[in-house]
């Protein structure tokens, strides 16, 4: 899958304040920053991102995605 397609699917499925995606065409790493993550634990955040990619994961078009999920406040604090 092309990284831009993955980004499009995530952005179509949830509100993101910031989204970065890097990968080699097989393995991808995403940084997803969203207010939707406020009050959610790490697993709930991951489940929310996976929801946006559900069809591509089910068909095997996308199989190796790692991501970091942050609230806008966490993202701001991390960037210093």
Report pLDDT digits (tens) over 40-66.
Answer: 999 999 999 999 999 998 998 887 889
- Give the rounded percent of residues in the chain with a pLDDT score beyond 70: 100
More confident residue, 24 or 77: 77
**If you average pLDDT over residues 19-34, what whole number do you get?**
92
- Supply the pTM of this predicted model: 0.91
3-state secondary structure of 1: coil
Mean pLDDT, the chain, integer: 93
Concatenated DSSP letters of 5-66: HHHHHHHHHS--SEEEEEESSS-EEEEEE-GGGTT--HHHHHHHHHHHTHHHHHHTS---EE
pLDDT at 45: 97
């Amino acid at each position: 899958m092309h990284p831009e397609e993955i980004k499009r699917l995530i952005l179509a499925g949830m509100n993101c304040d910031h989204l970065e995606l890097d990968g080699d065409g097989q393995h991808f790493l995403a940084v997803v920053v969203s207010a939707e993550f406020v009050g959610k634990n790490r697993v709930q955040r991951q489940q929310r991102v996976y929801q946006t990619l559900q069809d591509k994961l089910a068909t095997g078009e996308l199989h190796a995605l790692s991501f970091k999920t942050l609230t806008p406040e966490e993202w701001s604090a991390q960037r210093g």
